[in-house]
Structure 1
Amino acid sequence: MKVLHCYRTFYPETQGGIEQSIFEMARYTAGSEVLTLSNTPGAVSVNGIPVKAERRWLSMASCCMGPSLVSDLYKKQADIVHLHFPWPFGDLSYLLGGRRRPLIVTYHSDIVRQRALGAVYGPLMRLFLNRADRIVATSPDYLASSPVLREFVDKVEVIPLGISESSYPQPAAKSVETLRERFDDGFMLFVGALRYYKGLEFLVRSAPGLPFPILIAGKGPEEKRLRALANSLGAENVHFLGHVDDEEKMALLHLCRAVVFPSHLRSEAFGVTLLEGMMAGKPLISCDIGTGTSFVNLDGETGHVIPPADVSALRAAMLDLSGNREKAADWGSAARARYEATFTGRKMAEAYGHLYRRVLTERADKQAVA
């Protein structure tokens, strides 16, 4: 069985939650390949997974475009085409070059910010989703709250995202000790891209006067504004670490008291960082935004789920876990158990493998009847 994953970005050019998820799906499914766009086109192998990148001609409103991808998609041999949504150019590419091959769509997020574009794009989106054999939601919460998914509920299945511990390095003892000397082991940690929907403004506003460091690891378009806000508030306990590699990230997760994930808009559909925190056995703080974040983090069991954009609630949640080491440890243990039960990369890939085989069987049965 040959599975071709298509998404607008992928390793090694970019790193993110969707890229990580595609990697996990592909690594456990023999015959998987990835087709993407890049500023540096070419063919590479990412840990044994063949990746073909066509040239990205332009990117507008987060929609990467490269016409040569259409012809490459047409030529590629694949039993299943697996596209990752939203990516309007990917929809068009399948309609033009997919040759009506079996289509799985993982629906990662509604179009939230570009509403005007979404109105224009609507007819193309519905034509594309109508062609899909199955649409996969990443959580029951997102299925329940997405008006688009509810239109196609008869073909929607839920498969949670997952990550594999073996994909992450063990932190070096020296890295851990260096961090401990600098920040101790009671700090709050955010890891991710610094984007508009991550709620980091509220994290910075909650920081002044708190008796522990708040570490923000990652880069992104909001960094300059957030640094200026921290300076204006005198939030000297907020530390911007910039990009961290996987070893540094695991050292940070090893030492932190809790993982803080204050995303306040529906653009945050799931939150792979939450899974990384659970994998590391840490309690979580996230916001109730009607998406997968509250499916991952269970309030009062694996962490705090608070109202979005609420500085007081965020501050109180961090103070609670900072001041109660035993609670933090208990919730961290529960988070680790939930990760092992529900969110491993192998469980996700196995679920997709079963789905691929069912879709191929259904297609074969239809062709036999015809």
Structure 2
Amino acid sequence: MKVLHFYKTSVPESMGGIEQVIHQIGLGAAKQGVQTDVLSLTRRHVPRTVDVGGYLVHRAKMDLQIASTGFSASAFLRFYQLARHADVIHYHFPWPFMDVVHFATGIRKPTVVTYHSDIIRQKRLLKIYRPLKRCFLRDVDRIVATSPNYLATSEVLARYRDKVSVIPIGLDRETYPAADPERLKAWRARVGPKFFLFVGVLRYYKGLHILMEAARDMHVPIVIVGAGPIEIELRAQAHALGLRNVHFFGQLPDSDKVALLELSYAVVFPSHLRSEAFGISLLEGAMFGKPMISSEIGTGTTFINIAGETGLVVPPSDPAALRNAMQFLWDNPEQASALGARAQERYWQYFTAQRMVTDYIKLYRELL
């Protein structure tokens, strides 16, 4: 079986949440004898095709970008060429240009779309895009939601409920490097033996401005790993609030990220908008056995983190509630440890890459 994934960015150039999902599917599918190709766009002068250790990534030149949507004239032919030899086409939503390519190339193959998120921010452009979006979602054979929570709360998915399946995102623990003892020692000396950790791209919906407010009048160390479009304003906010307990370390290699995950006391994930549809880095916290704090936004974050079982769940955009949750975990190490242990158990039960890949391959076979 041969599957073609289509999304605007991909590994190894980008490692966001959706790229991570495609990467995990590609690696896992190869182990089960399924050949995977990925087509994405790039602005860089890179090889047209590259092997990333089990599957092939093909790149088409990005010509322009509008409202986070990349466009490419060469992608039409490249997609057509690859799709002709594929058994199943696997799209990753949202990306409006993808919908255009789907209809323009006229490929009639079984189609799956993983619905990663509603479109939240670009409300004016959404009015223009909505007719195309509805045609696209109506035309594909199967839609996959990444959590039952998101399926239950998405008005868009409610229109197509009869062809929606739920396949939670999974991670392969073996693809993460082992923590190096020297790096553990170095980071422990740098940040101390006990701290809260946030990992992720610094975007508007991550709720980090709320975390800054919650950190005021607290003395617990908070480590922030990641870069992004609001990094400068977050650093300015932390400086204005006089937050000496908040440490920004920017983008780090996986070896350092793993070391910090191993060392961390708990993971804090304050995303406050539905643009945060799942929360890969929250899942990483569960995989490493850490208690979690997240907000109830009706998405997969509360499918990963069950209130009172794997961590604490607070109302969104509520600095006081977030501060109280952090203080509670800090003051109750035995309960925090028990929550972390149950988080890890839940990861092994529901969120392994093997389970995700097996469910997708089963879906591919059903469509074929």
TM-score by length of 1: 0.96
Residue 2 of structure 1, CA deviation: 0.4
Hey, what does 2:96 align to over in structure 1?
88
| Counterparts of 1:17 and 1:116, CA distance in 2 | 25
Amino acid across the alignment from 1:243: Q
Asked if structure 1 preserves the Cα contact closer than 8 Å seen for 2:26 and 2:54, the reply is: no
Amino acid across the alignment from 2:143: I
Structure 1, unpaired ranges of 5+: 361-370
| Counterparts of 1:202 and 1:251, CA distance in 2 | 26
Amino acid across the alignment from 2:55: I
Hey, what does 1:39 align to over in structure 2?
43
| Counterparts of 1:97 and 1:45, CA distance in 2 | 25
Hey, what does 1:190 align to over in structure 2?
198
> How far does the alpha carbon of each residue in 1:20-71 deviate from its partner, in whole angstroms, 9 at most, with x for none?
1111111122211100001125211112210001001111111111121111
Hey, what does 1:368 align to over in structure 2?
none
Amino acid across the alignment from 2:247: H
Hey, what does 1:291 align to over in structure 2?
299
> How far does the alpha carbon of each residue in 1:162-196 deviate from its partner, in whole angstroms, 9 at most, with x for none?
00001110110011111111222210000000000
The correspondence for 1:79, drawn from 80, 87, 102, is 87
Hey, what does 1:272 align to over in structure 2?
280
| Counterparts of 2:147 and 2:319, CA distance in 1 | 27
Asked if structure 2 preserves the Cα contact closer than 8 Å seen for 1:108 and 1:269, the reply is: yes
Hey, what does 1:5 align to over in structure 2?
5
The correspondence for 1:248, drawn from 245, 256, 276, is 256
> How far does the alpha carbon of each residue in 1:94-138 deviate from its partner, in whole angstroms, 9 at most, with x for none?
111251211100000000000111111011111111111100000
1:158 aligns with 2:166: yes
Moved over 4 A (4+): none
| Counterparts of 1:74 and 1:128, CA distance in 2 | 17
The correspondence for 1:307, drawn from 289, 300, 315, is 315
Hey, what does 1:28 align to over in structure 2?
28
1:329 aligns with 2:337: yes
Hey, what does 2:69 align to over in structure 1?
63
| Counterparts of 1:336 and 1:173, CA distance in 2 | 22
| Counterparts of 1:244 and 1:336, CA distance in 2 | 24
SS in 2 for 1:59: strand
Asked if structure 2 preserves the Cα contact closer than 8 Å seen for 1:185 and 1:255, the reply is: yes
Residue 207 of structure 1, CA deviation: 1.1
| Counterparts of 1:352 and 1:297, CA distance in 2 | 23
Asked if structure 2 preserves the Cα contact closer than 8 Å seen for 1:73 and 1:98, the reply is: no
Residue 275 of structure 1, CA deviation: 1.0
Residue 11 of structure 1, CA deviation: 1.2
Hey, what does 1:366 align to over in structure 2?
none
Asked if structure 2 preserves the Cα contact closer than 8 Å seen for 1:208 and 1:236, the reply is: no
Name whichever of 23-32 and 288-297 sits farther off. 23-32
Amino acid across the alignment from 2:36: S
Identity %: 50
1:318 aligns with 2:326: yes
Asked if structure 1 preserves the Cα contact closer than 8 Å seen for 2:91 and 2:114, the reply is: yes
Residue 211 of structure 1, CA deviation: 2.3
Asked if structure 2 preserves the Cα contact closer than 8 Å seen for 1:2 and 1:31, the reply is: yes
Amino acid across the alignment from 2:266: A
Asked if structure 1 preserves the Cα contact closer than 8 Å seen for 2:291 and 2:343, the reply is: yes
Amino acid across the alignment from 2:27: R
Amino acid across the alignment from 1:70: F
1:53 aligns with 2:59: yes
Hey, what does 1:199 align to over in structure 2?
207
Residue 286 of structure 1, CA deviation: 0.4
Hey, what does 2:110 align to over in structure 1?
102
Asked if structure 2 preserves the Cα contact closer than 8 Å seen for 1:171 and 1:247, the reply is: yes
1:262 aligns with 2:273: no
Amino acid across the alignment from 1:7: Y
Amino acid across the alignment from 1:53: R
SS in 2 for 1:28: helix
| Counterparts of 1:247 and 1:284, CA distance in 2 | 21
TM-score by length of 2: 0.96
| Counterparts of 1:99 and 1:208, CA distance in 2 | 55
| Counterparts of 1:185 and 1:120, CA distance in 2 | 51
| Counterparts of 2:53 and 2:336, CA distance in 1 | 35
Asked if structure 1 preserves the Cα contact closer than 8 Å seen for 2:24 and 2:353, the reply is: yes
SS in 2 for 1:15: coil
Hey, what does 1:181 align to over in structure 2?
189
Structure 2, unpaired ranges of 5+: none
Hey, what does 2:359 align to over in structure 1?
351
Hey, what does 2:140 align to over in structure 1?
132
Asked if structure 2 preserves the Cα contact closer than 8 Å seen for 1:28 and 1:349, the reply is: yes
1:15 aligns with 2:15: yes
